[in-house]
Chain A
Amino acid sequence: MRMSRQPEGPPPPPVVQRLRVRYAKRGRLRFTSHRDFARAFERALRRSGVPIAFSAGFTPHPKVSYAGAAPTGVASDAEYLEIGLAAVREPAEVRAALDGALPPGLDIVEVVQAPADGGSLADRIEASAWRIVLPGVSAEAAGAALDRLLAADGAPVERLTKDGPRTVDARAVLLSARLANGSPDPEPAEVNARCATLEVVVRHSSPAVRPDDILTALRAIGALSTPVTPVVTRLAQGLVDPTSPEDARRLVDPLSEPGTVRA
Chain B
Amino acid sequence: MTTSQPVESVFPRLEPLLPLVRKPVQYVGGELHATVKDWDAATVRWALMYPDAYEVGQPNQGLQILYEVLNEQPDVLAERTYCVWPDLEVLMRQHGIPQFTVDAHRPVGAFDLLGVSFATELGYTNLLTALDLAGVPILAAARSDGHPIVVAGGHAAFNPEPIADFIDAAVLGDGEQAVLAITDLVRAWRAGGCAGGRAGLLAALAESGVAYVPAYYDVSYLPDGRIQRVAPNRPGVPWRVAKHTVMDLDEWPYPKRPLVPLAETVHERYSVEIFRGCTRGCRFCQAGMITRPVRERSITTVGEMVQNGIAATGFEEVGLLSLSSADHSEIGEIAKGLADRYDGENVSLSLPSTRVDAFNITLANELSRNGRRTGLTFAPEGGSERMRQVINKMVTEDDLIRTVATAYGNGWRQVKLYFMCGLPTETDEDVLSIAGMARRVIATGREAAGRKDIRCTVSIGAFVPKPHTPFQWAAQLDHESVDHRLRALRSAISHDREFGRSIGLRYHDGRPSIIEGLLSRGDRRVGAVIRLVWERGQRFDGWSEHFSFERWTEACDEVFADQPVSLDWYTTRERALSEVLPWDHLDAGLDKDWMWEDWQQALAGGEVEDCRWSPCYDCGVCPSLGTETQVGPTGRALLPLTPV
B 252-273 contacts with A by CB, 8 A: 260, 262-264, 268
Known: A58-B371, A58-B372, A103-B30. A36 touches B25 (CB 8 A): yes
Q: Give 15 A-B pairs besides A3-B373, A40-B262, A103-B30 with Cβ atoms closer than 8 angstroms.
A: A1-B409, A2-B450, A28-B11, A29-B30, A33-B25, A40-B260, A43-B313, A43-B316, A45-B314, A58-B371, A59-B372, A103-B32, A229-B16, A229-B19, A229-B20
Give bound CA distance, A54 to B316, whole Å. 13
Report which of A28, A42, A105 forms a contact with B15, defined as CB distance below 8 A: A28
Shortest beta-carbon distance, B58 to chain A, in Å? Answer: 13
Q: Which residue of B lies closest to A4 (CB)?
A: B411
B25 and A31 within 8 A (CB): yes
User: Complex Cα distance A29/B411, Å?
Assistant: 43
Q: Is B31's CB within 8 Å of the partner chain A?
A: yes
A-contacting residues, B18-52, CB 8 Å: 18-20, 23-25, 27-32
Name the distance in Å between B373's Cβ and chain A's nearest Cβ. 6
Cα(A123)–Cα(B600), bound, Å: 75
Q: Which residue of A lies closest to B449 (CB)?
A: A2
Chain B interface main SS type? loop
Give the distance to chain B from A15, nearest Cβ to Cβ, in Å: 16
Does the CB pair B372–A28 fall under 8 Å?
no
Interface flag for B346 (CB, 8 Å): yes
Residues of chain B with a CB closer than 8 A to A54's CB: 346
Beta-carbon contact of B346 and A43 below 8 Å = no
Judging by beta carbons under 8 Å apart, are A29 and B28 in contact?
yes
Once the chains bind, are B260 and A36 in contact (CB under 8 Å)?
A: no
A39 close to chain B: CB less than 8 A: yes
Q: Do B25 and A3 touch across chains, with their CB atoms under 8 A apart?
A: no
Cβ–Cβ < 8 Å partners of A29 in chain B = 28, 30, 262
B629 at the binding interface (Cβ < 8 Å): no
B604 within 8 A of A: no
Interface residue? B311 (CB, 8 A): yes
Residue B549 at the chain A interface, CB threshold 8 Å: no
Contact at B28–A31, with CB atoms within 8 Å? yes
Encode A1-17 as 1/0 by CB contact (under 8 A) with B. Answer: 11100010100000000
> A60 interface residue, CB < 8 Å from B?
yes
Tally of contact residues, B, Cβ under 8 A: 38
Q: Does A32 contact B (CB under 8 A)?
A: yes
A47 touching B314, Cβ below 8 Å:
yes
Nearest CB in chain B to that of A62: its residue:
B346
Distance between A84 CB and nearest chain B CB, rounded to angstroms:
15
**Taking the nearest CB of chain A, how far is it from the CB of B326, in angstroms?**
21
Given A2, A7, A35, A47, which contacts B264 in the complex, CB threshold below 8 Å? A35
Q: Which residues of A contact B29 (CB under 8 A)?
A: 28
* A28 lies within 8 A of B19 (CB): no
Q: Kindly state whether residue A138 has any CB partner on chain B within 8 Å.
A: no
Q: Contacts A1-B410, A58-B371 given; indicate if A31 touches B24 (C-beta within 8 A).
A: yes
Q: Does any Cβ of A come within 8 Å of B596's Cβ?
A: no
- Confirm or deny: B138 has a beta carbon within 8 angstroms of a beta carbon on chain A: no
User: With contacts A29-B28, A31-B25, A32-B25 known, is A46 near B262, CB below 8 A?
Assistant: no
Judge if B312 is at the interface, Cβ distance under 8 Å: yes
Return the chain A residue nearest B346 by Cβ.
Answer: A60
- Chain B, residue nearest A106 (CB): B262
Which residues does chain B contribute within 8 Å of A42, judged by CB atoms?
314, 316
Q: How far is the CB of A73 from chain B (nearest CB, A)?
A: 5
Known: A3-B410, A43-B314. Is A36-B16 also a contact (CB below 8 A)?
no
Chain A residues with CB under 8 Å of B263's CB are: 32, 36
Least CB distance from B348 to A in Å reads 10
Give the contacting residue for A36; candidates B27, B262, B344; CB below 8 A: B262
Verify B30–A28 contact, CB threshold 8 A: yes
Q: How far is the CA of A158 from the CA of B603 in the complex (A)?
A: 65
B344: chain A residues within 8 A (beta carbon): 9
B371 x A59 contact (CB < 8 A) = yes
User: What residues of chain A lie closer than 8 Å to B264, measured between beta carbons?
Assistant: 35-36, 39
8 residue pairs from A and B, CB less than 8 Å apart: A28-B28, A28-B29, A29-B28, A31-B28, A42-B314, A59-B372, A101-B314, A103-B262
Contacts of B32 in A (CB 8 A): 43, 103
Q: Does A72 lie at the interface of the complex (its beta carbon under 8 Å from any beta carbon of B)?
A: yes
Minimum C-beta distance from A148 to chain B (A): 24
Query: What mask results when residues 34 to 54 of chain A are scored 1 for a CB within 8 Å of chain B, else 0?
Result: 011001101111110000001
B315: CB under 8 A from chain A?
yes
Q: Is the CB of B314 within 8 A of A44?
A: yes
Instruction: Tell me, in angstroms, the Cα distance from A44 to B264 when the chains sit together.
Output: 16
A212 to B19: give the CA distance in the assembly, Å: 11
For residue A160, CB closer than 8 A to chain B, the reply is: no
Chain A residue numbers with a CB within 8 Å of B315 are: 43, 46
Given the complex, which residues of A lie within 8 Å of B268, measured CB to CB? 39
Contact partner of A73 among B19, B31, B313, B409, CB < 8 A?
Answer: B19
Q: Return the contact of B260 from the options A7, A43, A229 (Cβ within 8 A).
A: A43
User: Is the Cβ of B312 less than 8 Å from the Cβ of A228?
Assistant: no
Rounded to whole angstroms, the CA-CA distance of A60 and B345 in the bound complex is 10
User: Considering the chains assembled together, what is the distance between the CA atoms of A15 and B30 in angstroms?
Assistant: 33
> What's the minimum C-beta distance from A70 to chain B, rounded to whole angstroms?
13
Contact between chains at B373 and A46 (CB < 8 Å): no
Interface pairs A-B: 9 shortest CB-CB: A3-B411, A43-B314, A46-B314, A47-B314, A28-B28, A31-B24, A58-B372, A229-B16, A31-B25
The CA of A103 and the CA of B29, in the complex, are separated in Å by: 11
Minimum distance in angstroms from A87 CB to a CB of chain B: 12
C-alpha spacing A46/B29, complex, angstroms:
22
A43 to B264, CA, bound (A): 13
Contact A46 B312 (CB under 8 A): no
Nearest-Cβ distance from residue B311 to partner chain A, whole angstroms: 7
Question: What is the bound-complex CA distance between A44 and B312, given in angstroms?
Answer: 10
B622 to chain A, nearest CB (A): 42
- In chain A, residues 81-130, which have Cβ atoms closer than 8 Å to a Cβ of chain B? 101, 103-105
Q: What's the Cα separation between A2 and B376 when bound, in Å?
A: 16
Q: In the complex, what residue of chain A is closest to B643 when comparing beta carbons?
A: A49
Contact partners of A46 in chain B: CB under 8 A: 310, 314-316
